[in-house]
């Protein structure tokens, strides 16, 4: 699974890592639904850390698309709202 973090690049996660990714994605969605902006950015930061740590950077010359797009850590609540699909950034089962 190729994940793009806006402003940071693309990362390739294995299927095993992808299942853990869902947990971090759910945290962001739950924080967003609570309306607590601090909790949203904290959860988004943990999601980024997981992606960068568990994933392998995709070479800059890779021409394929991304399976998932995640906002940058400095994203506003409005930007995050636009990117959430109702199932988080990663559709359940993704």
Considering the domain boundaries, does residue 79 fall inside one?
yes
Average pLDDT for 82-94: 71
| More confident call, 11 vs 87 | 11
pLDDT band at residue 34 under the 50/70/90 scheme: very high
Considering the domain boundaries, does residue 49 fall inside one?
yes
Stated pTM of the model: 0.87
Distance CA 63, CA 18 (A): 21
pLDDT value at 23 more than 80: yes
Distance CA 30, CA 46 (A): 13
Q: How many domains does the chain have?
A: 1
Which residue segment(s) compose the domain that 79 sits in?
Answer: 2-83
pLDDT value at 94 more than 60: no
| More confident call, 86 vs 93 | 86
| More confident call, 20 vs 92 | 20
């Amino acid at each position: 699974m190729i994940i793009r973090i806006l402003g940071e690049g693309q990362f390739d996660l294995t299927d095993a890592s992808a299942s853990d990714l869902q947990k971090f994605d759910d945290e962001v969605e739950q924080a967003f639904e609570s309306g607590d902006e601090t909790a949203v950015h904290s959860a988004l930061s943990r999601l980024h850390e997981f992606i960068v740590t568990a994933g392998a950077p995709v070479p800059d010359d890779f021409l394929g698309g991304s399976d998932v797009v995640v906002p940058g850590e400095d994203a506003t609540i409005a930007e995050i709202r636009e990117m959430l699909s109702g199932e988080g950034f990663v559709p359940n089962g993704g």
